[in-house]
Amino acid sequence: MSKALFEYVLRLGDDSLILGQRLSEWCGHGPILEEDIATTNIALDLIGQATTLLEYAAHLEGKKRSADELAFLRIDREYKNLLLVEQENGDFGKTIMRQFLFDAYRKLLFEKLLSSSDEHLAAIAEKSLKETKYHLKHSSEWVIRLGDGTEESHERVQDSLNELWRYTGELFFEDEVDTELKGSGVIPDVSDIQDKWNELVMNVLAEATLTIPNDNWQFDGGRVGKHSEHLGYLLSVMQYMQRAYPNMEW
Amino acid sequence: MVDTNQIWKYLEEVSDPEIPVLTVNDLGIVRNVSIEGGLCKVTITPTYSGCPAMKRIEDDIIEKLKDKGIENVKVDLVLSPAWTTDWITENGRQKLLEYGIAPPQDEVDKSVLFAEPTNVPCPKCSSSNTRMISQFGSTACKAHYQCNECMEPYDYFKCL
């Protein structure tokens, strides 16, 4: 089981790490000071969650690889994050839409993981859930403000939804890793989360006067290491220091 | 050999590097102190997952206890039960207020997705005619508020 659990924890850890890295790109570039601070605060929470998750993954793997090595010294095909979180920031509306679709999923997932039969995973969920609720509050309020805002803000955030919707099917991706862990009560049944996610997302989008695109083509692959073209560029920035100066610390 | 009560007293001298008026005891992040076979073990819990102060607090605890002559110290980090602002002591809340940071108010903003912003009285003039500027402030644990009466901008230690 620990091999499946390693894989699962790595997937969650990579979601946090990659989205944290993406959000940190806003540091010093936010549209207003408050949002510059908010996005980087959320990035910090995510990097903190990534640290805890990747430390646990490193422990489960039992190969003496550290959390830092997992974070900075893998190649792109070894990252198991969702395609959604590696998508480029775009404008503020796209960043917010990406965040909202993810936050809604993460909140519901962490709520379910509270009762995981794996105590450490449940503890990580308990800690992270509190932060995630603030993230979701922030992102959903912005989706509504932008969607039901000016003509331009509506158009931009609708375009972002149209573009990002095709990455939301993967939130509920399942393979043999999930089947094994579900059987032993470590993780919840994904269909349970999916229904609640649909409800939550539809309610917010309705209030934001936004509509989901008709084209329901969905991508997946991130969970098994097949990524979009954007991940490589992100990793080259994120890994630069460790690649250029191996084992450096500060 | 010192007892655990004495260790708790020594911890009164370790402050939060980001809010130096608060000690680690005021914050409620020290969950347990034990002495077994000459090893002093202090168990702490993080406020936020990414709080950069945690590592520093860990080092400060070890250093403080060394200063007091306790050489064999280990600091353990636990995640559960997850830290809550309810654990900030009454004394800690008073110190925050005097420092100009509004202390956490109630349970409301923890759970509700679309709750109205919590009413947070101004730490300078006590007026409750205030508004939230941003949910995220100078650190992960704070929101940014402004008083509509005296115009003072201030941090609010938000509920977690």
- pLDDT computed for residue B140 by the predictor: 81
CA distance A133 to chain B (A): 7
Quick check: B127 contacting A, CB < 8 Å? no
> What is the nearest CA distance from B104 to chain A, expressed in angstroms?
15
Of A37, A48, A137, the CB nearest to B50: A48
- B102 and B61 in a common domain: no
- Residue B98 and residue B151 in one domain: yes
Angle at B13 between CA B10 and CA B17, to 5 degrees: 135
Asked if B140 and A122 come within 8 Å (Cβ–Cβ), the reply is no
B79 chain-A contacts, CB cut-off 8 A: 52, 120, 123-124, 126-127
Q: What integer is the mean pLDDT of B95-110? A: 81
Distances (CA, A) of A157 to A33, A93, A147: 21, 5, 6
d(CA A102, CA A209): 19
The count of structural domains within chain B is: 2
B38 vs A: CB within 8 A: no
Cβ distance of A52 and B138 shorter than 8 Å:
no
* Same domain as B92, residue B75: no
Residues of A whose CB is below 8 A from B49: 45, 48-49, 51-52, 127-128, 131
Cα distance between residue B145 and residue B131, in whole Å: 6
Question: Are residues B96 and B66 part of one domain?
Answer: no
Residue B80, chain A, CB below 8 Å: the answer is yes
Among the partner residues A51, A119, A126, nearest to B82 by beta-carbon distance: A126
- Domain around B117: 88-157
Contact B79 A47 (CB under 8 A): no
Tens of pLDDT, residues A99-118: 999 999 999 999 999 999 99
> Are residue B110 and residue B51 in the same domain, yes or no?
no
Q: What is the pLDDT of residues A123-181, one digit of tens each?
A: 999 999 999 999 999 999 999 999 999 999 999 999 999 999 999 999 999 999 999 99
pTM here is: 0.93
Q: What is the pLDDT of residue A215?
A: 83
Per-residue pLDDT tens digits for B29-82: 999 999 998 899 999 999 888 888 888 999 999 999 999 999 999 999 999 999
Shortest alpha-carbon distance between residue B158 and chain A (Å): 10
Chain B residue numbers touching A49 (CB-CB < 8 A):
49-50
d(CA B93, CA A144): 35
- Taking CA atoms, what residue in A is nearest to B134? A34
How do residues A35-71 score in pLDDT, each as one tens digit? 999 999 999 999 999 999 999 999 999 999 999 999 9
B140, A45: Cβ pair inside 8 Å? yes
B8 shares its domain with B76: yes
Which of B25, B53, B83 is where one domain is finished? Answer: B83
Query: Could you say which of B65, B83, B101 is where a domain stops?
Result: B83
Mind spelling out the 3-state secondary structure of chain A? CHHHHHHHHHHHHHHHHHHHHHHHCCCCCCCCHHHHHHHHHHHHHHHHHHHHHHHHHHHHHCCCCCHHHHHHCCCHHHCCCCHHHHCCCCCHHHHHHHHHHHHHHHHHHHHHHCCCCCHHHHHHHHHHHHHHHHHHHHHHHHHHHHHCCCHHHHHHHHHHHHHHHHHCHHHHCCCHHHHHHHHCCCCCCHHHHHHHHHHHHHHHHHHCCCCCCCCCCCCCCHHHCCCCCHHHHHHHHHCHHHHHCCCCCC
| Whole-number pLDDT of residue B113 | 58
Question: B37: domain CATH number?
Answer: 3.30.300.130
ipTM comes to 0.86
Element (H, E) at B80: none
| Residues B121 and B55 occupy one common structural domain | no
| A105 min Cα distance to partner chain B (Å) | 14
Q: Are B76 and B115 found together in one domain? A: no
pLDDT of A249: 82
Please state, as a whole number, how many other Cβ atoms lie within 10 Å of the Cβ of residue B130: 24
Alpha-carbon distance of B103 to B122, in angstroms, equals 10
Q: Kindly state the average pLDDT of the residues A184-204.
A: 95
Angle formed by the axes of helices A33-61 and A2-24, nearest 10°: 160
Least CB–CB distance from B79: residue in A45, A46, A124: A124
Q: Which CATH number fits domain A2-244: 3.50.50.60, 1.10.3720.10, 3.90.1720.10, 1.20.1260.10?
A: 1.20.1260.10
Domain final position from B83, B118, B137 = B83
B52 to chain A: which residues are within 8 Å by CB? 44
Give the integer Cα–Cα distance in Å for B73 and B94. 31
pLDDT per residue over B105-126, tens digit each?
865 455 555 566 678 899 999 9
Is the domain of B149 the same as that of B110?
yes
* Tokens, residue B46: 């993080």
Q: How far is A48 from chain B (nearest CA, A)?
A: 4
**Do B107 and B130 sit in the same domain of this protein?**
yes
